[in-house]
Structure formats: structure tokens, C-alpha cells
Structure 1
């Protein structure tokens, strides 16, 4: 079990962070091209080795223009390579930050949920003992654990 953590971001820092995120979003948005999930599946994916490959191809194309087929616009290729490098420079620290945010949120959320379950169980016991107000609180909270009805068999409705 991990040790409990205590995280409390002051309102002033939250406001600064929200402003900074807004700034990032507004500055980056004109340069971004969001894809649908289907479009993302159609895009050729690159790995770390592909970046080195791009760099070498660019060097060969620069030093020996005859290697570049007529249908490839070499300046467009160079622009795409630079954009990929620039975006990667921005993405890597943001990915680490997102991972750290997710980890911290997972930890604080897990701690809160375990504590909330303890309180719920206490309310449940109090309701069984007919403690004042406990039954209403239990009825309100127990919906979180209600079984979801199973979807009807498609053949049965046909």
C-alpha cells in the first residue's frame, strides 16, 4: 500500500495554472490538426527510429537532389520534419506532466474513495441500527452500488 499523500493546490496557483493552460491552448490551436479516431487509424505511425530515418533522408535529399522524386515537394518534407521535431519538443514534457497529474489524481482519488467507503459502511451500519437520519443517507448513497440491469437479449426482442 502506498503512503497517503496530501495535495492542496491554493486557489491562486489554480488560477495561474488554468491561465497557463488556456495560453498553451490558444497559442497552439492554430498549429494543431485534430483527427477523428478513424483518421488516426489511417495515419502512418512513426517511432523513435523513424525520426532518425527522416533526418537521414532529409540529409540525402539536400545533398543529392536527384534522389528526390519529382512528385515529392522537398520543401514540404522539410517543413513536416521540422514541425514533427518542434511538436515532439513540446509533447514530451507535457506527456510527463500528464502522467504525473494522472498518478497524483489516481492516488488522491483512491485515498478519497477508500475513506468514502468507510463512511458509507458506517452509515450502512447506522441505518441497520436505526440511527436518526442514517436510513435516508444510506438510501441516497446505495444507488452507487445498485446492480445495473442486463441488456435484453437482442434475439428475444426480434
Structure 2
């Protein structure tokens, strides 16, 4: 709920509390008061959780970026290292990450 809606709800609760006579009997002012109180209690928690989620997202993105950078370094070192036996298959497997399909190949596949 935005600031304008919060002000509206607060004013409506004030009006309902001070002038309950115009409301139908089925309207429960106390229920509204409890809902408003619950919202007001939960809102700071929501703000904290939102901030925490943003921090976790940022940390996850940074960690992923650093891990990918390290993986690229390993791949490049492996490609330039000719004295380690058995790396060719692994280098080929890792290199598939960078393989792109040609546009001609894609259109030929979709035509058939």
C-alpha cells in the first residue's frame, strides 16, 4: 500500500471510529482496526525483508560474476597449457559454452 492509500485507510478508520452510526451493523470497526494494526506492524518487517532480499540478490550476482571470471581464467589457462595430458577433451567440453549456431543452420532446420 502506498503513502496515499495508507493516509486514506487511516482517515477512513478515524471516520469510522468517531462516527460509527452511519455504518451498517455488519461493518466491524474493530476488525478494521485490527487489520490496520497488523498492517502497520508488518510493514517495517516487509521493508527489512525487501532490503535483505536486495542485498542477497546483489551478493549472489557478484559471487556469480566472480565465479564466472575465475572459470574463464581456468579455461584460458587450460587452452594455453600444452604440457598437461588429458586436457583436450575437457577444453573441448568447456568450449561448447561459446559455440553459436549459424543463422543459415537454424533456417535450414526450421524449413525441414
TM over 0.5: yes
Asked if the contact 1:68–1:74 (Cα under 8 Å) also holds between the matched residues in 2, the reply is: no
Could you say what secondary structure the match of 1:72 adopts? coil
1:62, distance to aligned residue in structure 2 (A) = 0.4
Q: Which runs of 5+ in 2 are unaligned?
A: none
Hey, what does 1:39 align to over in structure 2?
Answer: none
1:124, distance to aligned residue in structure 2 (A) = 2.9
1:113, distance to aligned residue in structure 2 (A) = 1.3
Greater CA drift, 141-150 or 90-99: 141-150
Q: In structure 2, what is the Cα distance between the partners aligned to 1:59 and 1:110? A: 52
> Larger helix proportion, structure 1 or 2?
2
Could you say what secondary structure the match of 2:54 adopts? helix
5, 10, 16: which one pairs with 1:55? 10
Asked if the contact 1:60–1:67 (Cα under 8 Å) also holds between the matched residues in 2, the reply is: no
Q: In structure 2, what is the Cα distance between the partners aligned to 1:67 and 1:47? A: 27
Alignment of 1:21-32 (within 5 A): none
Alignment of 1:1-80 (within 5 A): 46-80=1-35
64, 68, 76: which one pairs with 1:113? 68
1:59, distance to aligned residue in structure 2 (A) = 0.9
> Kindly tell me: are residues 84 and 141 of structure 1, through their superposed partners in 2, closer, same or farther at Cα, counting changes over 3 Å?
same
Q: Which runs of 5+ in 1 are unaligned?
A: 1-45
For residues 80-121 of structure 1, what are the alpha-carbon distances to aligned partners after superposition, in whole Å with 9 as ceiling and x for unaligned? 212211221211112111211221222222122112112112
Q: Which runs of 4+ in 1 moved over 4 A?
A: 146-150
Q: In structure 2, what is the Cα distance between the partners aligned to 1:125 and 1:66? A: 85
